[in-house]
Amino acid sequence: MTEVSVAKEDVAATGELVVLKSVNKHFGALHVLQDIDLTIARGEVVVVIGPSGSGKSTLCRTINRLETIDSGTIAIDGRPLPEEGKELARLRADVGMVFQSFNLFAHKTVLENVTLGQIKVRKVEKKKAEEKARSLLDRVGVGAQADKYPAQLSGGQQQRVAIARALAMDPKVMLFDEPTSALDPEMINEVLEVMQQLARDGMTMIVVTHEMGFARSAANRVVFMADGRIVEQAAPDQFFSNPRSDRAKDFLSKILHH
Amino acid sequence: MFDFLEDYDLLGAFWTTVQLAVLSAVGSLIWGTLLAAMRVGPVPLMRGFGTAYVNIVRNIPLTVIILFTSLGLNQSLGITLGASDFETINFRLAVLGLILYTSAFVCEALRSGINTVPVGQAEAARAIGLSFGQVLSLVVLPQAFRSSVVPLANVLIALIKNTTVAAAIGVAEAALLMKEMIENEAQLLLISAVIAFGFVVLTLPTGLILGWVGKKVAVKR
């Protein structure tokens, strides 16, 4: 993917792609995000882990403003997140998002799912959009399913189409909100492999996941969240072998030793 | 036994009924869709207007609305809807009244369809950078229409029968002809049966066909 390698070269110029500063959010009385400060560099792969209800998904969703925040600032590529409207739509086009429940457009074919954004948002010609869609679908290994509807595909295939749909917009950063949590165990790897390839190609990625294997092998940094706060962040080797906080030790002891 | 029918233009009257129904159906589908868009939209003023419109209009008897178009709009305010002869004016007023009334029900049928579309569909559409209008017109409404075909068929059937109210302002449709025949002829049971049969011929296939279409276009999830 040429776009990504170009993006990688600008790292020296402006290193910071996503910057969150003292972000706070409440759901009613629940303080889901508490003074979150997080900076993600261009080309970096950050994995966010933590117990359920710790605010990981909410954090991920605030970055393209699917969730609004109560205070603090979020900037992408140096520009603060706009309010609702045309500006926000433009920004969202640059931020790819992959959901836990795939959310492929149910009334459109796989191919149409991947061309819709290109045609309607990027104003790409239909023919060119289809060419690009087919090559992306081939890349994630579902090229043969292009003319089917999402309901005819397995979960793993649907999620790979969803990744292709996001990539079709040439995003600067990709958000993954528990991309494998709704999948049958035997389909998890096919999705993780696509994500690993993407990480190797230099895509900036923020991944909320419970897949510790992926965190170890693909992440540059692990961010551990609990109770709405970032408790600890470190390189994966260091985090998994030698966590500093008690909260992280406790969490890891529960998930790693079975 | 059916000899007396030869003195009346039964087909012509039902043709007027069909015209009333088709024009009102198209109009109320458009206006009802706009109302539904307002009711799910982000602008509070439009949401308020949509909600108020539906709750007021669907609770007024259709007869009152149709009479209002004639007595209020035409006779008091002089609105003629671009027609000059009495017959055309009344026909257009009746269509307007039927649209104003039926669109409230179209809006609610569509809104129930919108509620069957999972939130994730709209979120995914927003996430690739589609604007609110595009999210609605490209992703949410196409799916909503597919799951509202059957409730919309109910609205259409009700509309076809409701066209009889246009008789109140003298539109020469089936019900007005029935009134005329009842005044002139003795076969009262037969007259009612013929008119009822005419309506069943219009509504029964509508329901059956749209029921089949509804199954055919249903979105598989």
DSSP notation for B36-79: HHHHHSS-HHHHHHHHHHHHHHTTS-HHHHHHIIIIIIIIIT--
CATH architecture of the domain with range B3-217: Orthogonal Bundle (1.10)
Q: What's the residue count for chain A?
A: 258
Whether the per-residue pLDDT at B63 is higher than 90: the answer is yes
* CB-nearest partner of A89 from B131, B139, B220: B131
Residue A257 — pLDDT band, cuts 50, 70, 90?
Answer: low
pLDDT at A4 over 60: no
Which among B121, B127, B220 has CB closest to A97? B127
Say if residue A12's pLDDT is above 90: no
DSSP B81: T
Structure tokens at B40: 């799910």
- In this complex, the residue of B118, B134, B143 whose CB is nearest that of residue A120 is B134
The stretch A74-87 carries a mean pLDDT of 88
Identify the pLDDT of residue B56: 97
Query: Which residues in B lie closer than 8 A to residue A107 (C-beta atoms)?
Result: 139, 142-143, 146, 219
Confidence at residue A214, expressed as pLDDT on a 0 to 100 scale: 93
Q: What is the structure's pLDDT at A9?
A: 42
Reported as a pLDDT band with limits 50, 70 and 90, residue B86 is confident
- Residues A205, A79: Cα–Cα separation, whole Å: 18
d(CA B31, nearest CA chain A) in Å: 24
Neighbours of A177 (CB within 10 A): 22
Model confidence pLDDT, tens digit, residues B149-174: 999 999 999 999 999 999 999 898 99
Q: Is the pLDDT of residue A3 over 50?
A: no
Give yes or no for A107 touching B (CB within 8 A).
yes
Chain A residue at shortest CA distance from B134: A120
Closest CA to A229 of A58, A38, A34: A34
Per-domain boundaries in chain B: 3-217
User: Which of the four pLDDT bands, split at 50, 70 and 90, describes residue A11?
Assistant: very low
pLDDT in the model for residue A57: 94
* φ and ψ at residue A18, rounded to 5 degrees: -120, 125
Confidence category of residue B8, pLDDT binned at 50, 70, 90: confident
What is the structure's pLDDT at A53?
87
**Facing residue for A117 by CB, picked from B42, B118, B128:** B128
Residue B28: CB atoms within 10 Å: 25
User: Which chain A residues have a beta carbon less than 8 Å from that of B120?
Assistant: 99, 101-103
Amino acid B75: pLDDT: 84
Taking the whole predicted model, whether its pTM rises above 0.90 is answered as no
User: A66 and B123 in contact by Cβ < 8 A?
Assistant: yes
Three-state secondary structure of chain A: CHHHHHHHHHHHCCCEEEEEEEEEEEECCEEEEEEEEEEEECCCEEEEECCCCCCHHHHHHHCCCCCCCCEEEEEECCEECCCCCHHHHHHHHCEEEECCCCCCCCCCCHHHHHHHHHHHCCCCCHHHHHHHHHHHHHHCCCHHHCCCCHHHCCHHHHHHHHHHHHHCCCCCEEEEECCCCCCCHHHHHHHHHHHHHHHHCCCEEEEECCCHHHHHHHCCEEEEEECCEEEEEECHHHHHHCCCCHHHHHHHHHHHCC
Under a CB-based contact definition with an 8 Å cutoff, are residues B73 and B79 in contact? yes
Mean pLDDT across A134-155: 95
Q: Which tops the pLDDT comparison, B102 or B221?
A: B102
A123 in contact with B, Cβ within 8 Å:
no
The mean per-residue pLDDT over the stretch A115-140 comes to: 96
What distance in Å separates the CA atoms of residue A195 and residue A47, rounded to the nearest whole number?
12
A169 contact B CB<8A: yes
> Looking at residue A7, what is its pLDDT?
41
Q: Are B31 and B49 in contact (CB under 8 A)?
A: no
- Residue B164 DSSP one-character state: G
pLDDT band for position B6 (cuts 50, 70, 90): confident
Chain B residues inside the 8 Å CB shell of A136 = none
The confidence band for A85, taking pLDDT boundaries of 50, 70 and 90, is: confident
Chain A residues close to B121, C-beta within 8 Å: 103, 105-106
Region B45-56: mean pLDDT is 97
Q: How many CB atoms lie within 10 A of CB A169?
A: 22
Angle at A199 between CA A153 and CA A33, to 5 degrees: 85
Asked which of A93-102, A180-189, B38-47, B183-192 is least confident by mean pLDDT, the reply is B183-192
Which residues does chain A have within 8 Å of residue B142's beta carbon, measured at their own beta carbons? 107
Residues A43-53 have a mean pLDDT of 93
| CB within 8 Å: A103 and B143 | no
Sequence length of chain B is 221
Across the interface, whether the CB atoms of A106 and B143 are under 8 A apart is answered yes
Which residues, listed in sequence order, are joined to residue A95 by a DSSP beta bridge?
Answer: A173
Left, alpha or beta for B81 (phi > 0: left; psi -120 to 50: alpha)? left
Test B131 with A106 for CB contact under 8 angstroms.
no
